[in-house]
Structure 1
Amino acid sequence: MSAQPRQQLPRGFWWLWASTLVNRAGLFVLPFLTLYLTVERGYSATTAGVMVALYSLGGILGSLAGGSLTDRWGRRPTMLTGQLGAAAFTLGLGFAEHLAMIALLMTALGVTLKMSQPAMGAMLADIVPAEARPRAYSLNYWALNLGFSVSALSAGALATFGYVTLYVVDAATTLLCALLVFLKLPETRPEKPPATARAPEAPRASMATVLRDRRFMCLVGLNLLVVMVFTQRHVALPLSTAEAGLSTTEYGTVAAVNGVMIVTLQLLVTRYTRIRLAHRVLGAGALLVGASAVLNATADTLLLFCLAAVVYTLGEIVYVPTSEAQVPAMAPAHARGRYEGVMVLSWSVGGFVAPLTSGVVIDAYGTDALWAVCTVFGVLAALGYVALFRTRAPRDTAPPPVRTVPQE
């Protein structure tokens, strides 16, 4: 039997991919926010932590609002509103003088940045055929990390001209991203088919519709467990390396393993995972992330922490694109925005709750106890994915062996 013809990803996807890369390559504010507030502005570390929490709180609100607007208003206007708002609020942060104004702008920035994410996810699902979505999500995730690497390398040089420069360039790249969307990406929201006797009009979707979808909400809950573990690389990992006597430079080396591996291995690993059953891929990713927590708890040298980072990153590479591809697999076309919004919400909630609860656990029981909890979360998530997909798989998963999606 001859091989099926190779399918090209549509042009619209590549413009969406380019806008993601541009936006992420200019993301300077959040990685340098703590330094800006403590070193440049003289605020305490506690105050800086509150500002980060306000950003996460805004993200929770933005993900819900963005999901609803994506379905009601459309993908394109929601993305443009979020990106234009984010550019304005980012620029405002660079010149804000009073703490109350900084707090307000941080919350607004969280809202606008997160409100565009459900729209981008829904647009990707609209324009990419179902069988090609796992690869498309993998490429998009690769662009996010490639852009972050460019941002990290260039931010230091830009900061020599002053922290305000970072805010100005960040706002400019966000505007460029909005310009790409405005010029190159048309609206993709599916039109509602006219109601007939045989095919009555689809029921109007609401956030309650998503919350009543038990299967999808189980997927969101399992993702939240994994996100809680993901967040520890910014919370528990620095403390563990310090307790082991590693310097800040050595911690930077451990952190760099993640970015280097994703940029170099993401597309290669996807060639393998995209033809595997989703629950096996998701379960394997969750187990790898959980295993990395065990390694972090027992590590006491730079080499062992780097080994843990390798295992963690393999789990991330395997898990994230496959998890993102499940959302359009479960969502009705007319409610993709809301479904994407709720999934983005799980990331925002995890980013908000994990640092708060982790600090309590570490203060009371130590970092080893926190890593043990993370291991349990990873195992529970893996078992949950097997149980969730046991009865039937989403239509974007379990592709037949003869189906191939090319790498251009």
Structure 2
Amino acid sequence: MRVLGLPWAYWIVWVVVLVIAIGRFVPPLLATYLTTDRELPASSAGLIISVFGVGGVLSSLVGGYLADRYGHVPVVVWSQAASAGALCLIALELGHLALVAVLFAYGFSSHLANPALNAMIVGRVPPQDRERAFTLNTWALNLGFAVGPLCASWVAVRSFSLVFYLEAALLLAAAIVVCLWLGRASVTRSDAIILTVPETLTTLRRDWVFLSFSLTMVALMAVYLQAFTTLPMILAEEGLPVSFYGLLMAMNGGLLCLLSVPFVRVMDRIANKTVLLHAGVLLIGAGYVVELGADARWHHAVAMALWTLAELAIFPVAWTIVSDLAPDRMLGTYLGVGGMYLAGGHVVAAGLGGTLLELVGPRGLHLVCLGVLVLVSVAFGLQSGGRRDREQSGRDRALRRVVRPTPVPCP
């Protein structure tokens, strides 16, 4: 059975991604809990909550390697079980240090499954349908981000603890569904050799095609994420209220949810991935051109809309390229590295963006961003020739090994 042109096994993974995304309400909800019920200052609450993100960054590469070594389904199940346990602990009246430790564990465990889930998508979806699959996967993520805080805030009025227990139950239910319907059929390798950690790192270090693409993506993300790091500061300097930036964020999430499914048709009509990458870079650049002359609220709204469209064009293509470049026995690891693009870009965006904003002002920052985008576009063009053969080889292998699983019980 196929829905929207994708196999039923993909939609099981999609539901799991949605459940995990709903659970990402924890940091914003805890911010309210710590500053109201615990009466902590905002600075202390922010530091405590930041460890959730630290755990998520560290888990991406680890989760990818574990998925290659032990299989995709076990890693997803371990991740959901550990996340459910962490959520139950968060619901308790923990001390500050204990809460920091548990939040780190939750950030680590909740992100641990991401490479395995992406690898499960790659293993179940034919190469020609992967852009569609990753576009709809982005839809699940954004839908979860939108629904999670809304539901959590409604339940939290009655009980903060109940919110965490309900999400823990959802995660355990998702783990059971994965066990029963996907079973052990999640990994199909072309050979039985499992690389050690040093061998894995050596392979990554020698893959210049993949590394050059990865570095270019981090640079692109550093520019794109200025919308989420320095833009709030710029709006504040213009005298605009925080609520306006919240409205822009709501518009970003709403557009992603509304346009993800229609955008699938656009992806189906454009076979050349490099064209889509260039289109995404052009849209980001157009947003910064608008920002250069922005003197009204609607200018910022137009820029955000352009950046949202760029996100729809870039992310599914980037995941598809990573999956095509990955050796069969290192699919999870490569997808784990791909999962670090946003995290790495965020580090650069937050570190350099604020410094540039202070030194050269908003206009100077936007001009620098446009210059970086030109270099990124040139890099994508230069890399396309070297990637083409690798991508085609990866798609040919994928056509021979796409998994069509039958229900197999977990061990």
CA distance in 1, matches of 2:223, 2:46: 19
| SS at 2:158 equivalent | coil
Deviating beyond 6 angstroms after TM superposition, the runs of 4 or more aligned structure 1 residues are 201-204, 396-399
Structure 1 equivalent of residue 133 of structure 2: 136
The residue number in structure 2 matching 1:252 is: 246
The structure 2 residue matched to 1:190, chosen from 188, 196, 209, is 188
2:255 corresponds to which of 256, 261, 268: 261
**In the alignment, does 2:175 pair up with 1:181?**
no
Q: Which amino acid aligns with 2:77?
A: L
How far apart are the structure 2 equivalents of 1:39 and 1:366? 36
- CA displacement at 1:352 relative to structure 2: 4.0
Pick from 201, 210, 221 the counterpart of residue 227 of structure 1. Answer: 221
CA distance in 2, matches of 1:230, 1:96: 39
TM-score (norm 1): 0.86
Unaligned runs of 5+ in 1: 1-5, 195-200, 400-408
Query: In the TM superposition, what is the alpha-carbon distance from 1:396 to its structure 2 partner?
Result: 8.6
- In terms of mean alpha carbon deviation, does 226-235 or 143-152 score higher? 226-235
Q: 1:351 to 1:98 in 2, by over 3 A?
A: farther
For 1:338-353, what aligned pairs fall within 5 Å after superposition? 338-353=333-348
Say if 2:282 is the partner of 1:284: no
Residue 221 of structure 1, CA deviation? 1.1
Deviations 1:61-98 (A, max 9, x none): 21121111111111011111112112222332232532
Q: Distance in 2 between matches of 1:271 and 1:398?
A: 21
Matched, 1:325 2:320: yes
Q: Distance in 1 between matches of 2:52 and 2:183?
A: 30
Query: Equivalent residues in 2 for 1:32-43 (5 A)?
Result: 32-43=29-40
TM-score by length of 2: 0.85
Change (3 A) 1:366 1:396: farther
Name whichever of 313-322 and 41-50 sits farther off: 41-50
CA distance in 1: counterparts of 2:92 and 2:259, whole angstroms: 40
Q: Do structure 1's residue 104 and structure 2's residue 96 form an aligned pair?
A: no
User: Contact 2:229 / 2:353 at 8 angstroms: preserved in 1?
Assistant: yes
- Contact conserved, 2:49 with 2:100, CA < 8 A, in 1? no
In the alignment, is the contact (CA less than 8 A) between 1:66 and 1:119 conserved in 2?
A: yes
Aligned to 2:122: 125
The CA deviation string for residues 242-285 of structure 1, in whole angstroms up to 9 with x for no partner, is 22232333322222221121111122223123332111101211
Q: Distance in 2 between matches of 1:369 and 1:52?
A: 32
CA deviations on 1:15-35 (whole Å, 9 max, x unpaired) are 111111222234311333433
Alpha-carbon distance in 2 for matches of 1:180, 1:159: 27
Q: What's the C-alpha RMSD, in Å, of the aligned pairs?
A: 2.7
Partner of 2:409: none
1:302-327 CA deviation, whole Å, 9 max, x = no partner? 21111111111111111111111111
Structure 2 equivalent of residue 402 of structure 1: none
Q: Contact 1:9–1:128 at 8 Å: present in 2 too?
A: yes
What's the offset of the Cα at 1:157? 1.8
**Aligned partner letter, 1:255:** M
- The equivalent residue for 2:232 is 238
Cα distance in 1, alignment partners of residues 213 and 4 from structure 2 = 29
Cα separation, 1, equivalents of 2:118 and 2:367:
33
1:373 maps to which residue?
368
* 1:381 maps to amino acid: V
Is 1:62 aligned to residue 59 of structure 2?
yes
CA contact (8 A) 1:56 1:352 kept: no
In the aligned structure 1, how far is the partner of 2:290 from the partner of 2:67?
A: 41
Are the aligned partners of 1:85 and 1:112 in contact in 2 as well (CA < 8 Å)? yes
Partner of residue 206, structure 1: 200
Asked if the contact 1:207–1:338 (Cα under 8 Å) also holds between the matched residues in 2, the reply is no
Q: Report the Cα offset of residue 54 of structure 1.
A: 2.4
Change (3 A) 1:35 1:397: farther
Unaligned runs of 5+ in 2: 397-411
Is the Cα–Cα contact under 8 Å of residues 248 and 301 in structure 2 kept in the other structure? Answer: yes
Give the equivalent residue in structure 2 for 1:315.
310
Compute the displacement of 1:8 (Å).
Answer: 4.1
- Counterpart in the other structure of 1:76: 73
Contact 1:254 1:302 in 2 (8 A): no
Larger CA deviation: 65-74 vs 171-180: 171-180
Equivalent residue for 2:163, pick from 155, 162, 166: 166
Query: Which one of the candidate residues 87, 91, 101 is aligned to 1:90?
Result: 87
Q: 1:29 touches 1:166 (CA, 8 Å); kept in 2?
A: no
Higher helix share: 2
Q: Report how far residue 386 of structure 1 moved.
A: 1.4
Q: CA 1:176–1:229 in structure 2 vs 1: closer, same or farther (change >3 Å)? A: farther
Equivalent in 16, 20, 42 of residue 45 of structure 1: 42
CA distance in 2, matches of 1:285, 1:38: 39
How high is the sequence identity, in percent, across the aligned residues? 30
| 1:387 and 2:385 matched | no
